[in-house]
Amino acid sequence: MLAVAQIDYIRHEVNEKGETYASVGRRMGVDPRTVNKYANQEEFKRKEKQKRKSPVMDPVKPILDKWIKEDLNKKRKYHRTAKRMFQQLEKFHSFTGSYRTVRDYVSRRKQELKETTVDAALPLESFPGTAQVDFGTAPFKYQSEVIELPYLVMSFPYSNSFYFQVFPSENTECLLEGLQQMFHYMGGVPKTIRFDNLSPAVKKIRARGERDLTDTFDRFVLHYGFSYEFCNPGKGNEKGHVEAMVKYVRNNFLLPENTILDLDQFNKTLWKLAEEDRSRPHYEKDIIQSKLYEEEKDSWLVLPEKEFECARYQDIKADKYGMVTIDKKQYSTSPRFAKQKVSVCITYNTVLILNDNNEVIVKHSRLYGIRRKSMIWQPYLDLLSKRPRAIKYSSLYDQFPAIWSDYLIDCTEEEQKSALRLLGELLKSEDFSLLNEALQVASMHGHPSVEQIKHCFYTLLNQDTPHTTIMPNMSIPKVPEITRGLSHYDSFFQKEDGY
- Tens of pLDDT, residues 102-143: 999 999 988 887 765 554 443 444 688 899 999 999 999 987
The secondary structure element, H or E, covering residue 360 is: strand 360-365
pLDDT > 60? residue 18:
yes
Round to whole Å and give the CA distance between 166 and 182.
12
- Boundaries of every domain in the chain: 4-40, 58-120, 125-297, 311-376, 387-464
What's the pLDDT score for residue 377? Answer: 80
What's the pLDDT score for residue 480? Answer: 62
pLDDT > 70? residue 19:
yes
pLDDT band at 214 (very low <50, low <70, confident <90, very high): confident
Interstrand relation of 130-142 and 145-156 (parallel, antiparallel or unpaired): antiparallel
**Distances from the Cα of 187 to the Cαs of 92, 139, 144, 180, in angstroms?**
29, 30, 37, 10
Please tell me the class of the 311-376 domain: mainly beta
Segment among 103-117, 136-150, 195-209, 280-294 with least mean pLDDT: 195-209
pLDDT > 60? residue 47:
no
Q: Return the closest-CA partner of residue 197 out of 182, 180, 175, 179.
A: 175
Report the pLDDT averaged over residues 244-267.
94
**In this structure, how many other beta carbons lie within 10 angstroms of the beta carbon of residue 38?**
19
What's the pLDDT score for residue 170? Answer: 93
pLDDT band at 467 (very low <50, low <70, confident <90, very high): very low
Task: Fold for 125-297, please state it.
Answer: Nucleotidyltransferase; domain 5 (3.30.420)
In this structure, what are the phi and psi dihedrals at residue 178, rounded to the nearest 5 degrees? -65, -45
Output 158 or 18, whichever has higher pLDDT: 158
What's the pLDDT score for residue 126? Answer: 61
Q: Return the closest-CA partner of residue 335 out of 322, 325, 354.
A: 322
- What does the buried/exposed string (b/e) look like for 332-366 if buried means 16 or more CB atoms within 10 Å of the residue's CB? bbbbebeeeebebbbbbbebbbbeeeeeebbebeb
Round to whole Å and give the CA distance between 35 and 2.
10
pLDDT digits (tens, 9 = 90+) for 70-96: 888 787 888 899 999 999 999 999 999
pLDDT digits (tens, 9 = 90+) for 400-424: 888 988 898 888 888 888 888 888 8
What's the pLDDT score for residue 486? Answer: 57
CA 14 to chain centre: 68
**Distances from the Cα of 212 to the Cαs of 20, 197, 207, 227, 473, in angstroms?**
60, 11, 11, 15, 73
Round to whole Å and give the CA distance between 424 and 384.
10
